[in-house]
Structure 1
Amino acid sequence: MLMEETSEQYGQEQTNKSEDNTVNIGNDPVMQSAVDVLSILGSKTQVTLRAKGNSIPNAVAVANIITEKMLKGNSKIQKITLDTESAAGIGKMTSTIEILLSKF
């Protein structure tokens, strides 16, 4: 709870684990997020990375670190879904991404 208050104070999004195998990627350091994802893949066979807006490059970097460095030859990117959300009535568009990683 202290981390949430701190992140709100500085206006930064943090990496959040919303479900057992879904990770919301924010503006955390990329290696910290990759280690969080790796710990989930230790007990699960799949994990979904989700990111919005300026956090999308971080999600892509985490996926690449996992598949190309940490679990090279033992994991792959199953699916990438790109989408755009619009704010109700305002017309502002925000890009989103979901990356499904699997371990075999």
Structure 2
Amino acid sequence: MSKTSAGIPRDQIMVVGRAPVMTMVIEAMSTLGDKGLLSLRAREDNIPRAVVVANILTEKMMRQNSRVYKILLDGDMKPDGSMASTIEIIMTKV
């Protein structure tokens, strides 16, 4: 199993995109339940969606069984020279 530079296996990383929020929540809940660790990653306009997915998981779906372990904020340089904000929300199963 290959891992990212942060040491998180690739099958435990979920890139948050334009899919319906509840679809992402169900997928995230399945991964978190099976693996015990999940990394939600998003860029720019999808950052609020990643926060919503994490909130629904921790406060509604897996209330006593999950928690946010760490939140990492960063920025990447685009080819045109502008910055693109990124977020990584690392969640664990309790």
TM-score greater than 0.5 by the shorter chain: yes
Gaps of 5+ in 1: 1-17
The answer to whether the aligner puts 1:92 opposite 2:82 as a matched pair is yes
Q: Runs ≥4 in structure 1, deviation > 3 angstroms? A: none
The answer to whether the aligner puts 1:58 opposite 2:49 as a matched pair is yes
Residue aligned with 1:27, SS? coil
> Radius of gyration: which is bigger?
1
The answer to whether the aligner puts 1:76 opposite 2:67 as a matched pair is yes
Equivalent residues in 2 for 1:1-104, closer than 5 Å: 19-88=10-79, 90-104=80-94
> How much identity, in percent, do the aligned residues show?
44
User: 1:14-60: CA deviations, max 9, x gaps?
Assistant: xxxx9210000001111110000011112111100000010001000
Residue aligned with 1:26, SS? coil
Task: Tell me the amino acid that sits aligned with residue 11 of structure 2.
Answer: D
Task: Tell me the amino acid that sits aligned with residue 81 of structure 1.
Answer: L
Shift of 1:92: 1.2
The total of aligned residue pairs comes to 86
Q: Distance in 2 between matches of 1:19 and 1:30?
A: 21
Q: Distance in 2 between matches of 1:42 and 1:86?
A: 34
Task: Tell me the amino acid that sits aligned with residue 49 of structure 1.
Answer: L
Q: Which has the higher contact order (CA 8 A, sep 6+)?
A: 2
